[in-house]
Amino acid sequence: MEANTRSTGRLPAAFLTPGSSSFMDFLSEHQPEMLPGNRQLPTVQGVVEAPHGTTIVAVTFPGGVVLAGDRRATMGNVIAQRDIEKVFPADEYSAVGIAGTAGLAVEMVKLFQLELEHFEKVEGAQLSLEGKANRLSTMIRSNLGMAMQGLAVVPLFAGFDVDREKGRIFSYDVTGGRSEEHGFAATGSGSVFARGAMKKLFRDDLSEEQATTLVVQALYDAADDDSATGGPDVARRIFPIVTVITEDGFRRLSDDESSEIARRILARRLEQPDGPRADLL
Amino acid sequence: MSTPFYVSPQQAMADRAEYARKGIARGRSLVVLQYADGIVFVGENPSRALHKFSEIYDRIGFAAAGKYNEYENLRIGGVRYADLRGYTYDRDDVTARGLANVYAQTLGTIFSSAGEKPYEVELVVAEVGETPEGDQIYRLPHDGSIVDEHGSVAVGGNAEQISGFLDQRHQDGMSLSEALKLAVQALSRDTNGSEREIPAERLEVAVLDRTRPQQRKFKRITGRQLSRLLTAEGQAATSEAESEAVSDETPSDESEE
């Protein structure tokens, strides 16, 4: 293994060199081939078929932020997976939801989680929320080569800013461009429909419970119009993943809680398939 | 041409060991004890920012006595080793035994290489298991040997006397408050046998708590919670403090996945 292959078995010099608190920086010096961005890409033409994750939505409310995602992964017109998980805790006060090539995205999240944890252990303090958002930006940018071959990863990052005491959302583009979103945001193939739904339903004074209902409504609308987004699957008991981040930290709603929200929405939609109506004026 | 001055290998090693031991003895002692729900690290440390104890991985903690820059280097090396290993394989594949081995090799090579100054550090690597039987504590002296410890261990200046004191009094299944009080009592003993008072502000305390719901079991105990544990009498007060330990804010993540 990395340390033990050396003849003496001692920690290699790179491990004991004082320097960056970043795990990615350490990897790029010690084992650059392990960084996703440093892989040699074969020069083939055409698109690689790989499962893609679809819709992620986020909504802020006074005191926190909600991040949620549907459960479908698609490969062309095939449903590759019905119960994929696309929303992950990044650390105690932030979470990341991924849309795009599932395999690469999951690896990126794993590295991102480690990057934050590594910094925290080495420095004894957490990165600021902006700092975390910027690290994620760098990781997406390093994936640009893959993105140009059709293997893009476009996450949504949400967290509770302990300094400003509010929930914040950051969205990204394939080149790593980062922008802070106010109120609500969505990414992935169903994001257009989800954003339309949220635009009509969002208010500044949502409670946590209303915010979780709002994201599931938005995912329902996305699934309604986008074939790559999965709606609540009552028969298989597969419901959206809903996570809440407040000053108490990250919390993922249990299956019972999210199924309860989805079932209530479903019951209303049986009478009114297009969902709640907003006022005309 | 001058004849090189001959030093026997025995003498050279003894000198290096003496040098390292003296350096370590200048530092304050610290103790690591098993208690019912995990492992507690206790030491006297006037600094709030420079830690003697720290988290290496989910279940692994690190304690060091001696020269700060040297053990800090080893600590960061250990964090890098653990994180890289966990990233390459799986989080479960990072073990205290593996880490202790790497530290032992590192310290041993440095100690016996004529070109390098021996490190003036003594380390403790501890891993909390699912049950008290699964706990592991390794002590790593300056020369690269590994000592597998059970129950309690002390390192630093006054280590021999303190561990003698702890061996007599430490029992399995102590509560956190009991273990903490015993540790402070042990640390308060001076070389000449007299006792002195260590105020709570000068204590650095951390635990690896197997009952923590989070994946990362390491947690620092500070402020009110620490003074409450130090003054707690009997079982009732202890369990109250322990329930606090779970709900308190901590550096951690991934409560579920």
ipTM attached to this prediction: 0.87
Select from B253, B255, B257 the residue whose CB has the most chain A CBs within 10 Å, as the one to mutate to test that interface: B253
Check A10 against B74: CB less than 8 A apart.
no
> What integer pLDDT is reported at residue B1 of this predicted model?
60
Closest-approach residue (CA) in chain B for A26: B80
Please, what is the average pLDDT of chain B?
Answer: 87
A276 touches chain B (CB under 8 A): no
> What integer pLDDT is reported at residue B244 of this predicted model?
45
For residue B211 the two structure tokens come to 């009952």
Q: Within chain B, which residues score under 50 in pLDDT?
A: 235-257
Which helix (H) or strand (E) element contains residue A59? strand A56-61
Domain locations in chain A as residue ranges: 51-271
CATH of domain A51-271: 3.60.20.10
- Nearest by CB to A10, from B88, B109, B252: name it: B109
Distance, CA of B219 to CA of B54 (rounded, Å): 9
Catalytic residue among A43, A54, A138, A229: A54
A120 touches chain B (CB under 8 A): yes
Which helix (H) or strand (E) element contains residue A205? none
Say whether A11 sits in a helix, a strand or coil: coil
B113 touches chain A (CB under 8 A): no
Q: Within chain A, which residues score under 70 in pLDDT?
A: 1-8, 44-47
A242 touches chain B (CB under 8 A): no
- SS3 of chain B: CCCCCCCCHHHHHHHHHHHHHHHHHHCCCEEEEEECCEEEEEEECCCCCCCCEEEEECCEEEEEEECHHHHHHHHHHHHHHHHHHHHHCCHHHCCHHHHHHHHHHHHHHHHHCCCCCCCCEEEEEEECCCCHHHCEEEEECCCCCCEEECCEEEECCCHHHHHHHHHHHCCCCCCHHHHHHHHHHHHCECCCCCECCCCHHHEEEEEEECCCCCCCCEEEECHHHHHHHHHCCHHHHHHHHHHHHHHCCCCCCCCCC
Distance, CA of B57 to CA of B208 (rounded, Å): 11
Say whether A87 sits in a helix, a strand or coil: strand
Q: Would you call A17 a catalytic residue per the annotation? A: no
> What integer pLDDT is reported at residue A281 of this predicted model?
86
Per CB-CB distance under 8 Å, the chain A contacts of B106 are 10-11, 16
Q: Which CATH architecture has domain B26-247?
A: 4-Layer Sandwich (3.60)
Say whether A166 sits in a helix, a strand or coil: strand
Check B87 against A31: CB less than 8 A apart.
no
> What integer pLDDT is reported at residue A150 of this predicted model?
83
Closest-approach residue (CA) in chain A for B70: A16
A-facing residues of B in 192-211 (CB < 8 A) are: none
Distance, CA of B128 to CA of B207 (rounded, Å): 10
> What integer pLDDT is reported at residue B4 of this predicted model?
76
Say whether A167 sits in a helix, a strand or coil: strand
Q: Which phi and psi angles does B243 have, rounded to 5°?
A: -65, -30
> What integer pLDDT is reported at residue B232 of this predicted model?
79
> What integer pLDDT is reported at residue B55 of this predicted model?
95
Distances (CA, A) of A114 to B57, B82, B156, B170: 11, 11, 32, 37
| pLDDT tens digits along B10-38 | 998 899 999 999 988 888 899 999 999 99
| pLDDT tens digits along A208-251 | 999 999 999 999 999 999 999 999 999 999 999 999 999 999 99
> What integer pLDDT is reported at residue B157 of this predicted model?
82
- Nearest by CB to A9, from B54, B88, B102: name it: B102
Strand residue runs (E) in A188-256: 241-246, 249-252
CA distance A2 to chain B (A): 8
> What integer pLDDT is reported at residue A37 of this predicted model?
76
Distance, CA of A89 to CA of A114 (rounded, Å): 11
B100 touches chain A (CB under 8 A): no
Q: How many residues in chain A?
A: 281
